Structure 1
Amino acid sequence: MASVTNDMKVGAESQESKIDDVGEKREVSDSELEATAIDYDGPEARRILAKVDWRLVPVLSLLYLVAFIDRSNIGNAKVAGLTTDLNMHGLQYNTAVTLFFVPYTLLEVPSNIVLKLMRPSRWIAILMLAWGLVMTLMGLITSYGGLLAGRFFLGVAESGFFPAATFLLTLWYRRYEVQRRMAVFYVAASLSGAFSGLLAFAIQKLDGYDGREGWQWIFIIEGLIPVALALVIWKALPDSPETASFLTQTERDFLVRRLAEETGSGHGKVTNQDKMGKNFVIAGMSDWKVWAAVVIFWGNTVGVYGFTATVPTVINGLGYSAANAQLLTIPIYVFASIMTIIFAWWSDKLQTRSPFIIAGFLTACCGFIAQLAIPHPKHPGLTYGFLFPVAGGLYCPFIILVSWIANSLAPSSKRAVGMALLISVGNMGGIMGSNIYLEREKPKYTTGFGVSLAMCCGSVLMTVVLRWAYQRENHKREALLREHGEDAIRARYSDAEMLDLGDKSPFFKYTL
């Protein structure tokens, strides 16, 4: 994007006018004139973005760390004696893991619609309070039926957080800035495996305290954390650049302006201030490219959710004690976190998405092939070593895919629905992933590793198809601009109509 020129003087009269996002003429304020003098890529812009980074990204990262720990700690609870104490057998554990995803996947789109209708900070605080209470109460269960009820309502409460948080980030950053921030946020999911293992190792020592089992204390303590955070997060989490109290008016105007001009082509405008309407809901849910991305998403969720819920048991089956199995998960997730950050930074630097998605899934394929080839439980060190490319390869493409789709949807109402749809239906892969690691196949888990491998291969293929479709559309729009010219095309639409077109605008360019 070209830098903004300093044609307007900071001290210019504020009586000038402009066309706003709804196509109406209005007065331009002094702060808006000052904002136009800031270079989009200059030191002042970097200072403003750093100010946003420190206020927004660490908060969301902490919340996602807590959310992912709470949804996946059932794997730690299993190693701590959950299945034994509740007399579970056969596929009952898999059913409990799976049940979470039923409400989780069905409620994400409605949740993001609510998000657009109210302040994000309020909605996220409500969600946190709800899932924290559910998790805490799971520490009081004494039967398998109670576990199923707890997992179901945990899925209800957590369903809206991830699509809300990722959408919130897109309201603050341009397309080749947002992924690095999303990666830091998402690394919390990778680190949750490490923290969950470490916390479970420590909490297990409370086994027998106050007449409760170690796995019960895991649920209780890890549930009280989001309850406490919910009481302060509604005040600490900023909602949008337009309303951010920690920014000056000039800084707010600058952020709004640079985001409005982020179409990828250097022409036209987009808006984040559109109102949620039926047309945007339909547009977000009917875009075939979002559904193609869902197939790519399944490669991640089938592997990640099955792997996360099973990896402590896999390590335990290699001859390590339950306590050491918890600790040995930590290096795996740290490696996945590092790989996620590197891929995200590199992808933003090169301003491309699809090659890094493909590279991640191919890395995971190598790990799955090795797990299938190594004779378990022989060579425990080698088996453990090849869990690293599995985790790294599965985690790193995910945030690149979410950023890719976020970059390709406009205006913000369509983006809110499309991103929620992607995450919602994509997370249905968790249902499959939770049922392919069969207890009778441990420690080799042939079905689990084999199906995950096949899904990764399918994701690579669909990534190639989606890149081809975006590239083809970009070429058609470039040809249209060359043939008719920018002014002639712009004359066909009013300003409001052009904003409503969003990613269908002839000036919008898709990220590859």
Structure 2
Amino acid sequence: MAEKTDSNEQLEERGVSEEEKQTGVKPTAEVEAEHVLGEFTKQEEAAIIRKVDFRLVPLLSILYLLAYIDRGNIGNAKIAGMETDLKLTGNRYNVALTTFFVPYALFEIPSNIVLKLVRPSIWIPILVFAWGLVMTLMGTVSTYQGLVAARFFLGVAEAGFFPAATYLLTIWYQRYEVQRRMSVFYAAASLSGAFSGLLAFAIEKMKGVAGLDGWKWIFILEGLVPVIVAFTLYFFLPDRPETAKFLTERERQFVVDRIALGTGSGRGRITNSDKVTWAGIKVAFSDWKVWLAIVPFWACSIGTYGFTATVPTVLKLMGYTTGKAQLLTIPVYTFGMTATLIVAFWSDKVQQRTPFIMGGFTIAVVGFIGELACPHDRLPGVAYFFLFLVAAGLYCPFTAVVTLVANNLAPSSKRAVGMALFISIGNLGGICGSNIYFAAEEPTYHVGFGVSLAICAAGIIAAFVLRKAYQAENRKRDELLAREGEEAIRAKYTEQELLDLGDLSPFYRYTI
């Protein structure tokens, strides 16, 4: 059946260009976007990206720092008198730690779905206010049961922030710009230990003020900070490029077009404006590559949570005093985070993810083997050296794993749900990591180091399989394009259908 053609008057009413009237072919969104991008010089592009950097990255870094301080200050409160006051005997302290991770894993997917329905400048401040309020109220608990309940609700409140923050980066930056930004705000977490210790040292001296113990003031004051910050976020946290008030209209269009064209890493355009649907949720849950990527995430979470909880003990039992053992942890974490930043910039530059995941875990494996084989009491210097390898090997792959998944999910609704699924299940590794280092095995921790070694080896295998799978799919699409031609393939789809296909589009290319 012949298609009905519009008259010139009807075309004019629709705002159709002279070119379309004459040729009957509407310019594609890609052509229009490329035309807009071509109007900007390299200097102008760099200036716009700097504006986005200064507005987004420091803000997310501060929030992540606050989250980690509030999550980890229970350790400072413990030695400030909480352990005695709440009678944390036996494994009660470990139970309180573990309780946090259950809701933290369960509520990440619902939170990111809400993020697609509610503006980030509204939803993220709600999360920040909620965890600050819970932390403040934790300063009123007087029983072990109350502490466990408070840790549960802290997990509920903090659950949505990290997946929301990583998702937010993906709608502002191209795929090979994300990891370096993520590594910067992830590095903020490493500062939490120093900040938390310094703050706790000062706050603990408030013991007796208003009749409260020092450990309670640690919770109260460190909880009030995010409560206050939450009320400012609405005015400073940008939602998406299309509505960014700190950019001009011309700059907003530039950011939207460069993300739409650059993130797909192919000849297709992607969208970040799609709505969450049940079909999209189902697609995200059914992607086997997301589930396989959880294995290297587990390697990071199991290894990191267990490692950070035991490093001071390992150093102390090597013969160092408590104070010196605490100080000796600083170079280890500093080395790990420095390596993470270097790898993140390197990974973005060469546009590769899986080699850095496999390389990082290989270094961690060497470190864990060294810790298992080295006699800590006779060769403390050697054992200390291997801790550096463990730290670098566990921290470096983390941002690479997260950005690998973020780079390979489209459209944005699938990315939001898929990343939340990946991060939520991955964070369950924290439960395992918190319970595999047994006091009876100090300082060699055969089970803890052995399990961490095994999961790192599994992470290497999983990353290799993912690399081969993504390479095979890219090769298949390249062959299809060469065989049928771009015009013939485009003729099978509407522009909207290609957008809806996301990473399943024949023009989409996966990051490897």
TM over 0.5: yes
Deviations 1:85-112 (A, max 9, x none): 4322332222111111110101100000
Which residue of 2 is the match for residue 502 of structure 1? 502
Letter in 2 for 1:173: Y
Which residue of 2 is the match for residue 146 of structure 1? 146
CA distance 1:423–1:325, shift in 2 (3 Å): same
Which residue of 1 is the match for residue 362 of structure 2? 362
Deviations 1:459-479 (A, max 9, x none): 011110111110111111011
Counterpart Cα distance in 2 of 1:67 and 1:294: 23
Which residue of 2 is the match for residue 97 of structure 1? 97
Which residue of 2 is the match for residue 238 of structure 1? 238
TM-fit CA distance, 1:496: 0.7
Q: Structure 2: give runs of 5+ residues left out of the alignment.
A: 1-13, 21-25
- Number of residue equivalences: 491
Letter in 2 for 1:54: F
Letter in 2 for 1:423: I
Which residue of 2 is the match for residue 37 of structure 1? 38
Counterpart Cα distance in 1 of 2:374 and 2:79: 24
TM-fit CA distance, 1:306: 1.9
TM-fit CA distance, 1:204: 4.2
Deviations 1:97-150 (A, max 9, x none): 111111010110000000000101111100011111111222222222122111
Contact 2:174 2:263 in 1 (8 A): no
CA distance 1:448–1:203, shift in 2 (3 Å): farther
Which residue of 1 is the match for residue 441 of structure 2? 441
Q: Kindly indicate which of the two structures has a greater share of residues assigned to helix.
A: 2
Letter in 2 for 1:287: D
CA distance 1:182–1:334, shift in 2 (3 Å): same
Which stretch shifts more, 70-79 or 201-210? 201-210
SS in 2 for 1:100: helix
Which residue of 1 is the match for residue 304 of structure 2? 304
Contact 2:128 2:157 in 1 (8 A): yes
Q: How does 1:251-270 map to 2 (within 5 A)?
A: 251-270=251-270
Q: How does 1:2-81 map to 2 (within 5 A)?
A: 35-39=36-40, 42-81=42-81
Deviations 1:398-434 (A, max 9, x none): 1111111111000000000011011000001111111
Give the TM-score normalised by the residue count of structure 1. Answer: 0.90
Which residue of 2 is the match for residue 11 of structure 1? none
TM-fit CA distance, 1:55: 0.5
Contact 2:65 2:192 in 1 (8 A): yes
Q: How does 1:445-460 map to 2 (within 5 A)?
A: 445-460=445-460
Contact 1:306 1:433 in 2 (8 A): yes
Contact 1:127 1:161 in 2 (8 A): yes
Contact 1:75 1:312 in 2 (8 A): no
Identical positions, percent: 60
Q: How does 1:376-391 map to 2 (within 5 A)?
A: 376-391=376-391
TM-fit CA distance, 1:69: 1.8
SS in 1 for 2:49: helix
Counterpart Cα distance in 1 of 2:197 and 2:506: 50
Letter in 1 for 2:143: S
Letter in 1 for 2:257: R
Letter in 2 for 1:396: C
Which residue of 1 is the match for residue 165 of structure 2? 165
Give the TM-score normalised by the residue count of structure 2. Answer: 0.90
Which stretch shifts more, 318-327 or 130-139? 318-327
TM-fit CA distance, 1:179: 1.1
Counterpart Cα distance in 2 of 1:114 and 1:169: 17
Which stretch shifts more, 495-504 or 370-379? 370-379
Measured on the aligned residues, the alpha-carbon RMSD in Å equals: 2.5
Larger radius of gyration between Structure 1 and Structure 2: 2
SS in 1 for 2:262: coil
Which residue of 1 is the match for residue 329 of structure 2? 329
TM-fit CA distance, 1:361: 1.2
Counterpart Cα distance in 2 of 1:493 and 1:27: 13
Deviations 1:9-39 (A, max 9, x none): xxxxx966599xxxxx8999xx989834335
Which residue of 1 is the match for residue 413 of structure 2? 413
Which residue of 2 is the match for residue 7 of structure 1? none
Counterpart Cα distance in 2 of 1:259 and 1:405: 17
Which stretch shifts more, 106-115 or 218-227? 218-227
Deviations 1:277-335 (A, max 9, x none): 11111111110000000111000010112223333444444455555544443333222
Contact 1:32 1:250 in 2 (8 A): no
Q: Structure 1: give runs of 5+ residues left out of the alignment.
A: 1-13, 20-24
1:122 aligns with 2:126: no
Counterpart Cα distance in 2 of 1:461 and 1:269: 32
Letter in 1 for 2:300: N
